[in-house]
């Protein structure tokens, strides 16, 4: 029984549906992550990406980063949905 439980747990953990996005970004000399805006704090980069997403018609808010990717909440049909975007292309990651 324990082996079956462990096997099921492994399948659940290894499932691509539960994969977390990862985006490759560089570091600045000051230790900040370089998202293309120069040596500024991550919070300022998140605000700029949020503005860019809004300019593209994406109702993004509460924007931050996760594994180098843009993590934001988008209002869809009156509800907030968490989405991830590539900071290089602003393409949604699935």
Give the model's confidence band at 18: pLDDT under 50 very low, under 70 low, under 90 confident, else very high.
Answer: low
Query: In sequence order, which ranges of the chain are alpha helices (DSSP H)?
Result: 2-14, 42-55
Owner of token pair 């990717």:
69
The two tokens of residue 56 are 């593209």
d(CA 63, CA 28): 21
Q: Domain ranges for the chain, please list them.
A: 19-93
Is residue 44 within 8 A of residue 68, CB to CB? The reply is no
Give the model's confidence band at 6: pLDDT under 50 very low, under 70 low, under 90 confident, else very high.
Answer: very low
Query: How many angstroms separate the Cα of 54 from the Cα of each of 27, 39, 67, 80?
Result: 26, 23, 22, 15
Query: How many angstroms separate the Cα of 78 from the Cα of each of 6, 63, 75, 85, 92?
Result: 40, 18, 6, 21, 20
Mean pLDDT of the chain: 81
Q: Is the pLDDT of residue 12 over 50?
A: no
């Amino acid at each position: 029984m324990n082996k079956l439980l462990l096997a099921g747990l492994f399948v659940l953990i290894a499932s691509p549906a539960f994969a977390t996005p990862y985006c490759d970004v560089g570091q600045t000399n000051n230790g900040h992550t370089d998202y293309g805006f120069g040596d500024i704090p991550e919070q300022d980069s998140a605000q700029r990406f949020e503005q860019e997403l809004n300019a593209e018609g994406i109702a993004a808010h509460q924007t931050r980063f996760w594994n180098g990717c843009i993590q934001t909440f988008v209002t869809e049909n009156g509800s907030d949905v968490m989405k991830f975007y590539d900071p290089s292309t602003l393409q949604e990651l699935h």
